[in-house]
Amino acid sequence: MRFELPPYPYDLLDPYRLKATQHDGGVVDLSVGTPCDPPPQEAIRSLTESESERGYPPSIGSQEFRKSCQQWVKRCFDVDLDFERHIASCIGTKEFVVSAPTYLRLRTPDKDTVLYPEISYPSYAMGAHLSGCRAVPVKVDGKGQLILEELEPDDIERSLMLWVNYPSNPTGAIADLNAIADWGRSHDVPIFSDECYAEFVWGREPSTVLTSGLSGVVAVHSLSKRSNLAGIRVGFYAGDEDLVHWLKEVRKHSGKMVPGPVQAAASIAYSDDQHVEEQKLRYRNRLEFLQSCLKSLDIESELPQGSFYLWVHSGSIDAWDLVDRLASEVGALAAPGTFFGSSNHIRIAAVQPLEKLELISERLSP
């Protein structure tokens, strides 16, 4: 059967963007989770200084890059990895998320199913579709936790992988990744844990699936959010030696390479934590500010446990109507929960500086 490509979600926001733009000062775009703050300057400088432009870069990642990832994993999570056996680079994590099912299916052709949270970043399901797999959502409870007990045995049996994402985009929930890893091992389902928001948690330590042991688990990390480097496209995956080996070999054959200068910059970004501390504070302040703006509009919201999104119930109206209301009344553009699997939530990304967010509070005053 021919695959009908759905519209790209954010393209559907154009009419609401137009509405929001009518406000003096223009639209306050809180729809896409794209960072607006400065990346670490030393990393940016290294983009022109690495002298790695001429030759092909190693697909698996330079030693320097993988060592830097290894040291960061040790500092951040106190997990010991071997950079040769357990770590490899990816070109930002979206391409990894979307291509992993295709590559895993080559390894285990009798498995044809990708499990993913029913409320989630849309690329997990898209990766299943693009690889010709079945995309089977796992129910999520009101607290953003997976209800694995309700999965059908046949779906589990056929699964190539289970995607999890904590802190979650969009719900902001965090979860017990050790328990999920145990479930995966006992059902022979590899757990792929997308941890790109790992450090954006407050009053608690970042967590990774890797603390459960490496067997049957792969953690996926990105510099896009951590270091405001979404524009240079770089991340890494780490964990189970056999899975990492398979993926890095097949990715090498398919020409997936992070450009050399980007690997150099990434090594520097992963060796610094101070800029992440500063970024956490910015997000926290903006989330609180946005929460108070919503309150003035009689819209209740809770601060997330992690990530930089407010996941807001749309109350008695549906998600699109609330997107419309915010665009019309205060010129703010939010993403409807339908992009992530819920028709009665919206997602508000704290990705504009406070000066810009203040436009919202000014528009609130009569």
Identify the residue among 145, 207, 212, 222 touching ligand PLP (CB under 6 A).
Answer: 222
- The Cα-based distances of 361 to 17, 32, 146, 357 in angstroms read 18, 21, 36, 7
Q: How far is the CB of 196 from ligand PLP (least distance, A)?
A: 5
Q: What distance in Å separates the CA atoms of residue 165 and residue 169, rounded to the nearest whole number? A: 7
Q: Residue 65 region, left (φ>0) first, then alpha (ψ -120 to 50), else beta?
A: alpha
Is 23 or 345 the residue whose CB approaches ligand PLP more closely? 345
Decide if residue 93 touches ligand PLP (CB under 6 A): yes
Query: What's the closest the beta carbon of residue 299 comes to ligand PLP, in angstroms?
Result: 23
Min dist CB 126 to ligand PLP, Å, is 11
Minimum CB distance to ligand PLP, residue 257 (Å): 15
Q: 29, 194, 199, 324: which one contacts ligand PLP (CB under 6 A)?
A: 194
Could you tell me which stretch among 3-11, 93-101, 264-272, 340-348 binds ligand PLP (CB under 6 A)? 93-101
| Kind plus residue range of the DSSP H or E element containing 348 | strand 345-349
Q: Which residues contact 317 (CB under 8 A, 6 or more apart)?
A: 325
Exposure class string for 124-145: b at 16+ Cβ within 10 A, else e: bbbbbbbbebebbbbebeeebb
Q: How far apart are CA 111 and CA 6, in angstroms?
A: 25
**Shortest distance in whole angstroms from residue 169 CB to ligand PLP:** 4
* 169 interacts with ligand PLP by CB under 6 A: yes
Q: Residue 89 or residue 224: which is nearer to ligand PLP going by CB?
A: 224
Residue entry with tokens 């719900």: 171
d(C-alpha 126, C-alpha 165), whole Å: 15
Select the span of 92-100, 142-150, 176-184, 318-326 touching ligand PLP (CB under 6 A): 92-100
Task: Give the one residue of 224, 227, 267, 342 binding ligand PLP; rule: CB under 6 A.
Answer: 224
The span of 87-95, 244-252, 292-300, 350-358 binding ligand PLP (CB under 6 A) equals 87-95
Q: Is 81 helix (H, G, I), strand (E, B) or coil?
A: coil
- Nearer of residues 206 and 213 to ligand PLP, judged by Cβ: 206
Q: Does 230 bind ligand PLP (CB under 6 A)?
A: yes
H or E segment at 87? Answer: strand 87-90
- For the CA atoms of the chain, what is the radius of gyration? 20
Which range in 185-193, 222-230, 270-278, 350-358 contacts ligand PLP by CB under 6 A? 222-230
324 to 363, contacts with ligand PLP by CB under 6 A? none
121 touching ligand PLP, by CB under 6 A: yes
CB 213 within 8 A of CB 21: no
What number of CA atoms fall less than 13 Å from residue 295's CA on the CB side? 8
Determine if 165 is a binding residue for ligand PLP (CB under 6 A): yes
Q: Where along the sequence are the contacts to ligand PLP (CB under 6 A)?
A: 33, 92-94, 97, 121, 165, 169, 194, 196, 222, 224, 230, 235
